[in-house]
Amino acid sequence: MLLCINALAAPLGLKLPWLKTKLQNVGAGNPPSTILIEGVPVEGAEELIYLGSKQSSNGYCRPDVRLVQAILNTEYQSFNLR
């Protein structure tokens, strides 16, 4: 799959940064072991930050949900005070 994405991106002048890439099984068990793609080791990760949110392999996201709830609650309260 990753090599296919890389092959599709190549004609556009794009290349995946394998050194920065991490593999993660979300809700599907343990993280994958390190694999070689085009001779570059790509590590598995149990947790990583994606778009500012911590993503866990077990699908646990309660801290992010609580943060969004707090932000929405604050906005709702300020809206009601207007």
Secondary-structure breakdown of the chain: helix, strand, coil percentages, each rounded to the nearest 5: 35, 20, 40
Residue 81 has pLDDT above 70, yes or no: no
Residue 18 token pair: 């394998």
Cross-strand bridge partners of residue 53:
50
Residue 61 pLDDT: 66
* Mean predicted lDDT score pLDDT of the chain: 79
CA angle 57, 50, 28 (to 5 degrees): 20
Q: Domain limits at 60?
A: 2-80
Report the pLDDT averaged over residues 46-51. Answer: 78
Count how many domains the chain has.
1
Q: Which helix (H) or strand (E) holds 27?
A: none
Residue 60 pLDDT: 67
Report the pLDDT averaged over residues 39-44. Answer: 88
Q: What is the CA radius of gyration of the chain?
A: 19
Name every residue whose Cβ is closer than 8 Å to that of residue 33 and which is 6 or more positions away in sequence: 44
